[in-house]
Amino acid sequence: MASTQVETVSTSADKARLAVAALLLVAGLAGFYLLAAQGALAQWGALAAGLVLAMVVFFTAEAGKQLVAFGRDSWREVRKVVWPTNKDTTQTTLFVFAFAVTMALFLWLADKTLEWVLYDLILGWRG
């Protein structure tokens, strides 16, 4: 059996970009809480600026580029899916519902039968 090994090459520049993105995210969160006295506009502005800058820096790193490529490939695969029609969905739903009701009735009947056999016939208890 052949094994495929995935090797991730990360340069120090990429690691630095990820660290800067993390620091910008933390700075945005800190700005949100530290600017409480300045008003909601300043708070949300600092948070939004921190998030946007962190995302820009993240998407310039190799990890961000791989994430974008993964999203693009995923979207391409989702477009290939053949979704069921309304008729198929309705029929399947009704079949599952009927099966669940049938199983519930069967299990209730089995339970009551076992209860009758054990308590009434074998033990002689009248419950």
pLDDT digits (tens, 9 = 90+) for 63-110: 999 999 999 999 999 999 999 999 999 999 999 999 999 999 999 999
pTM above 0.95, yes or no: no
Residues 16-42 pLDDT 10s: 999 999 999 999 999 999 999 999 999
DSSP the chain: -----------HHHHHHHHHHHHHHHHHHHHHHHTGGG-HHHHHHHHHHHHHHHHHHHHHSHHHHHHHHHHHHHHHHHHH--PPPHHHHHHHHHHHHHHHHHHHHHHHHHHHHHHIIIIIIIS----
pLDDT band of 59, cuts 50, 70, 90: very high
